[in-house]
Structure 1
Amino acid sequence: MAILVTGGLGYIGSHTVVELLNNGFEVVIVDDLSNTERFILNNIEEITGKKPVFYPFDLRRKELLTQVFDAHQIDGCIHFAAYKAVGESQIRPVDYYENNLFSLINILQEFKAREISNFIFSSSCTIYGQAEVMPITEKTPLKLPESVYGKTKQMGEEILIDFAKAYHRKISLLRYFNPIGAHPSGKIGELPIGVPSNLVPFVMQTASGVREKLNIWGNDYATEDGTAVRDYVYVVDLAKAHVAALKKLIDDSSADSLIDIYNLGTGNGSSVLEVVKAFEKANNVEVPYQICARREGDITIAYADPQKAQKELNWKSETSLEESLRTVWEWQKYLNTRS
């Protein structure tokens, strides 16, 4: 079966492409290379022994997307392609709404016209806003997200739910918590262009001397050490969840519900300072940091209840925080050899 993977050279996308290829799927990637680099494609081939089909263009180019669907018998889609920086979304809201929503709608137009099902959406725990009760389950009430990025994910889910009901198509909404780590080969990992907006790549670059100091955005949160708490899930574990969700969509032809929703996390929360200390311990390096003012759009605490994914997908994140952070450092050492 041929699966379209949008943003397939990005961080989570590239790891998911590896798992798809290892599970016998054919993969067609569309990625505009706005937040990754082309060498990732070659590294996917080195890891798997298979080279996916690749088209470098922006999904807002509807005519080019139509040509991809004309050229391939697409059996499903995993949609990663989106702008994703929480802070940036607050100062570039129109760009985020245009890119993240129009690209989704263009793909769904092709799915509608060609009667294709099996769509997996890369969603986010940000759609819960600051949940009042931990851990967060799939039944936790959604709030208006703090960030424009989160709003685009919540709107994307609403669009997909309406699409599934109107056209009777099977959809899986995967709400990630905080992906970290890199492939064990050290050949693919998170590759932020410019200054990282996520914690772990900033830690990685600070430890390697690319950045002078790590900025910790606030130490006055209502947590044990004053820094924000998140659920950090290993990216390869996360990629495997996408394959499990896809197989369920394909195999479960008589499903009662058209919409699957899963929280993907470890079930444990770690503070920013705990992550920094775990990185230092795992890799025997020092990470200098400074405390800065809180960043607009950030919440205090979020961690998952992953039991539904464990039960229905037979999936569980089993990689420890320290092991995940060890793979990050191996990835950084690989990047150093390229510079």
Structure 2
Amino acid sequence: MTSSTLEPRTATGMAERRAAVEAAAHRIRRHALFMGEVQGQGYVGQALGAADILATVYTDQLRFRPEDPEWEDRDRFLLSTGHYAIGLYAALAEAGIIPVEELETYGSDGSRLPMSGMSTYTPGMEISGGSLGHGLTVAVGLALGLRYRGNAARVVNFLSDGELDEGSTWEAAMGAAHHRLGRLTAVVDINALQADGATAGVLRTEPVTDKWAACGWRVFRVDGNDVGALLEAFDAAGSGSAVTDDGEGAPAVVLCDTKVGRGVPLLEQREKAHFMRIEEHEWAICNEQLEAGWAARQEASQAKGQEEKA
């Protein structure tokens, strides 16, 4: 979205918005598989699982100018989980901030697209990631700074469920509520998996909805692979009704339950899915499954539309 107005959403209906985001999410998944094949490995599963979230944010929610990534009034998207960079690169390419052709350099020497996100290298990458637990603290400081400067830009911080193990995340959550940072939205990818195994087995974070609410946040929990649900949640999270003219209000968090490898059954079923090594012969299978699934969804959608018109 490149509008300079303070309302990022257009006048189009929900059906049109959903169709646009779903198409963008498919292209993001396609880009992620392409980059993964370039390296033969990577955090492909996370990129596939988070594609619907990234597409919703970049296609429908954020204000930005592709030709000017440093535009002062842009909304800020902070990728706290630096290892999800492959997914964000795909979204940045879809948004026109980086050339699609540049994705071929992913992870290569001298590339602007390193395997872990680095703000010094990549246009549109607001912070460097890697060591988890810092993103929300940076987002709080950024949101405060924008308020003091009279800038009404929105700050969106993407976290993982494993990142909720970090105490600094909860300190930042309390700080955001204390300072009434109503233009701050946290997004948590709850894929139930982290480097050491199942999230519930490493450190149980449930009931996570209650914990965010107890910290003073407005909480929305949705299926993170359901674009319609994501649109409704992000609309509500950014609603002006909860924020005063000076930007004060309760911050919002969108908790997104996702599936690692979403859209590619071969990868959805893979047991060790945090960092995937995909065999050379499997890439063709992954791409075929992705395209077959998308074609089936499009066919079903068209059939439903014809039924509704009948």
Q: What TM-score results when the alignment is normalised by the length of structure 2? A: 0.40
- Structure with bigger strand share is 1
- Structure with bigger helix share is 2
